[in-house]
Every structure is written in C-alpha cells, then in structure tokens.
Amino acid sequence: MLVPSPWRADFPAIATLQRQDQTYLDNAATTQKPQALLDAISHYYANGAANVHRAQHLPGAHATQAFEDSRSKVSQWLNVGDDGQIIFTHGATSALNLLAYGLEHLFNPGDEIVISALEHHANLLPWQQLAKRRELELVVLPLGDDGLIDLQAAAQLIGPRTRLLAVSQLSNVLGAWQPLPQLLALARAHDALTVVDGAQGIVHGRHDVQALGCDFYVFSSHKLYGPDGVGVLYGRTEALHHLRHWQFGGEMVQQADYHSASFRPAPLGFEAGTPPIASVIGLGATLDYLSSLDQQAVIAHEAALHDYLLRGLQARNGVRVLGSPQVALASFVVDGIHNADLAHLLTEQGIAVRAGHHCAMPLLKQMGLSGAIRVSLALYNDSDDLERFFEALDQALDLLR
C-alpha cells in the first residue's frame, strides 16, 4: 500500500465498518474513537459513577479527580498556561452560544461584529442573532480565490467600531488554514475581542493559544477522536472577566436565596448542571493517546494522504475541487452532475462521505453551488480507503454520464 496508517488498529470501529463494506471518509463531521477512549469510559462506568464537585464521598472524589485531570490535559494540549481557563460545554455550538449570550452586554447599537464568508453555521448564527437582538452590524469578510479570508479587505473592514472578531481556523468546506495571526492583530489593534472556531483546526497539528493570542478558542471533542457531548471553550483570563453567566442551575452558584444569587467565576460558573462527566474523562484519555503518537509522523501521514486525495480528484475529468485545500479534506463538484446523484451512488457503494451544504449554506450559495461532495480524512485512513473511494466515484460517474 502506498500510504498505510500505523494507527488504524487503534480504532476498533474501522475494522467493524470495513466488515460492513463501509469506507469512512466523513471525518470532518465526526471521527471514530481509539480503544483508549472506550477503555476509559468503560472503566469509569464499571468502577463507580458519581457526580463531580458536589459530594464528599469517595466515588465523588475519584470522579472529580478524573474530571479535573481532563481539564489539565486539555489545558496542556492548548498550552493555556497560567493566563487562561478551560470551560467544558456540551459542544462547540454551545460554547459559541455561551459567548454570544455571555458577551451580549458589551455591545451597543451600531457596534460591529466581524465574521468571515466561510463560517460554519455554528460560528455564524449565534453572532447573526446577537446582531439582531442588539441592532449591531454583522460584517462578513470576503474570501479570495484561494479560499482564504482576503486580508486587504479585512484591513478595511476591521475598524474602530469592531467589537468582536469571530473566525474559523480551518474551513470545513475549503480545507484552508486561515491567516489568523494577521486577522487577530487587526482586531487587537482596535481593542476588539477575538474568537477562534477551532472545530476543524484542532484536529490537525498542535495549536498554542498563547502564541495565537486569541481571547477565546472553541473546539468540540468528537471531531478530535473524543466522545461527543463535550465542547471546549478556552478563555484568556482578562477576556473571561467580560463573560456574564448565561445558563443557571446546579453547582455554578456560590450563594442562592429565593430572590437573588451569586455565581462562581470561570470555569465552574459556566458549567451549570451536571457536566458530561464520562465524556470529559474520555476526552482526557483520547488526549493521552494522541500525545503518545509521534506528532511529526501523524502530520506527514495526513499530508501524504491529502496529496493522494487531491491527485486522484484532479486526475478525473470534470471534477472541480473547491478552493485550494491544504489539509484534511477536499470538497468537489463534477461538471454536469448533481451532487445529490453522486452522493446517492457513493452511498450505494459503501462510501461514507458528506454531500450537501456542509452547514455553510451562505458560502455554497456565494460560490453558486447547491452543494458539494466532501471527502475528509483522519489519521486512521489509508490509501486503500481512497482507492475504494476513487473506484466508486468512477463507477458512479460511468452510470451518470
């Protein structure tokens, strides 16, 4: 095989899917899980579940310890250091909604929120709706032909009325790293808060939030080979002081009376109710597993696989790749063929890819497309997966032409 994956056997679901003749290439939607994660969740449930931060009993102490260990592991993964906090949410979407509600008080009519044209709905709609609530301007940074946010336009559009910039690190449709250092510098120059949607970026390479210099960084566990139901919100300490409490309930409170209450600071003040304890512990185990891998080897593998994917697509007549994907994924359309037809026939052949608008409807509309097919890779994929995909693609195109 041209590009084998040495980590494939660490993910038991891959073998199961293969027995069902399924080739999983929808990793930007969610990923398969390593055995280390299955073991950690099974261990937690088999050895005594308990709620965290509440009880004085021993099971509660163990659960709390494991839960807080996961927080430290996430902290280390992002190199948070002493100047920030990790808040666990129920997903990247809920982290972004927490920001849009918790920061709402900072905005006055006429203020501007800046996003980009490639945002996933999760990093578009919370800001769009905040803009509607507070009569703000939602400014949309345009893209260049390469799928990157246009920095010249950004320099014009990010200005003294900009109160917040929220952008993706890596597009889930175009697979291109966005020029974050320049964009964040533009926002900082105008004292605007900065939010980075790392949902896709976190999965590829290691990222240092201190070096990045953003105020908030958001990602979801399930795209990073972890359990679903957990999102991560990093906040810089100073920026967290702006964040008002949003959801109210158990354990986020300091003092409660019938008619008033006071609340804890970050992180616990933003984790109302019972958190997804097993999933957070599972995320910690996933990070341990990922930390044990040779990071350079993973990056090299993903690059080789991505190259293999792009070459294969470019070798086929009529296939048009969207933008200039650099890593992880490629979205494409085929001239004269409806993506829904192609998706149908790929599904028939056991190829799990994504078709449609990829939760970025405005971007697809702007490109004049009703949808596209997206192939997205993970570290357990190998070139045989891609060969099966190409074979199925050729079959489908034969039938449709």
Q: Does 339 bind another protein (CB under 8 A)?
A: yes
Which pair of structure tokens corresponds to residue 392? 């199925």
Q: How far apart are CA 17 and CA 174, in angstroms?
A: 27
Stretch that binds another protein, among 20-28, 200-208, 258-266, 336-344 (CB under 8 A): 336-344
Q: Does 400 bind another protein (CB under 8 A)?
A: yes
Please state the closest distance from residue 388 (CB atom) to another protein, in A: 15
- In this structure, the chain runs to a length of 401
Q: Is 316 or 344 the residue whose CB approaches another protein more closely?
A: 344
Please state the closest distance from residue 360 (CB atom) to another protein, in A: 14
Please state the closest distance from residue 198 (CB atom) to another protein, in A: 27
Query: Per DSSP, what are the bridge partners of residue 373?
Result: 332, 355
Q: Does 105 bind another protein (CB under 8 A)?
A: no
- 3-class DSSP assignment, residue 282: helix
Stretch that binds another protein, among 74-82, 156-164, 312-320, 342-350 (CB under 8 A): 342-350
- Please say whether the beta carbons of 122 and 171 come within 8 A: no
Q: Classify residue 117 by its DSSP letter.
A: T
Q: How far apart are CA 147 and CA 56, in angstroms?
A: 53
Stretch that binds another protein, among 177-185, 306-314, 316-324, 343-351 (CB under 8 A): 343-351
Query: Which residue is associated with the tokens 């490109």?
Result: 367
Contacting residues for 253 by C-beta, under 8 A, at least 6 apart: 261, 262, 263, 264
Q: Does 340 bind another protein (CB under 8 A)?
A: yes
**359 tagged catalytic:** yes
Q: Does 399 bind another protein (CB under 8 A)?
A: yes
Q: Is 9 or 340 the residue whose CB approaches another protein more closely?
A: 340
Please state the closest distance from residue 349 (CB atom) to another protein, in A: 7
Q: Does 244 bind another protein (CB under 8 A)?
A: no
Q: Does 344 bind another protein (CB under 8 A)?
A: yes
Which pair of structure tokens corresponds to residue 259? 């008619």
Q: Classify residue 243 by its DSSP letter.
A: P
Q: Does 338 bind another protein (CB under 8 A)?
A: yes
Contact map string, positions 49 to 88, toward another protein, x by CB under 8 A = ----------------------------------------
Please state the closest distance from residue 154 (CB atom) to another protein, in A: 33
Q: Which whole-number Å values give the CA distances from 131 to 100, 103, 193, in the listed order?
A: 9, 12, 15
Q: Does 146 bind another protein (CB under 8 A)?
A: no
Q: Does 262 bind another protein (CB under 8 A)?
A: no
Q: Does 297 bind another protein (CB under 8 A)?
A: no
- 3-class DSSP assignment, residue 142: coil
Please state the closest distance from residue 336 (CB atom) to another protein, in A: 11
Angle between helices 383-400 and 339-348 (to 10 degrees): 120
Give DSSP secondary structure letters for 63-104.
HHHHHHHHHHHHHHHTT-TTSEEEEEESSHHHHHHHHHHHTG
Q: Does 210 bind another protein (CB under 8 A)?
A: no
Please state the closest distance from residue 242 (CB atom) to another protein, in A: 39
- 3-class DSSP assignment, residue 15: helix
Q: Is 161 or 338 the residue whose CB approaches another protein more closely?
A: 338
Q: Is 210 or 349 the residue whose CB approaches another protein more closely?
A: 349
Terminal alpha carbon distance of the chain: 31
Among 189, 370, 391, 394, binds another protein (CB under 8 A): 370
Please state the closest distance from residue 364 (CB atom) to another protein, in A: 11
Residue 179: Cβ within 10 Å count: 16
Amino acid type, 61 = A
- 3-class DSSP assignment, residue 269: helix
Q: How far apart are CA 174 and CA 120, in angstroms?
A: 11
Q: To which H or E segment does residue 168 belong? A: strand 162-168
Query: Which residue is associated with the tokens 């891998």?
Result: 293
Q: Does 294 bind another protein (CB under 8 A)?
A: no
Among 349, 369, 387, 397, binds another protein (CB under 8 A): 349
Interacting residues with another protein (CB under 8 A) = 338-341, 343-345, 348-349, 355-356, 370-371, 395, 399-400
Q: Which sequence positions are flagged as catalytic?
A: 359
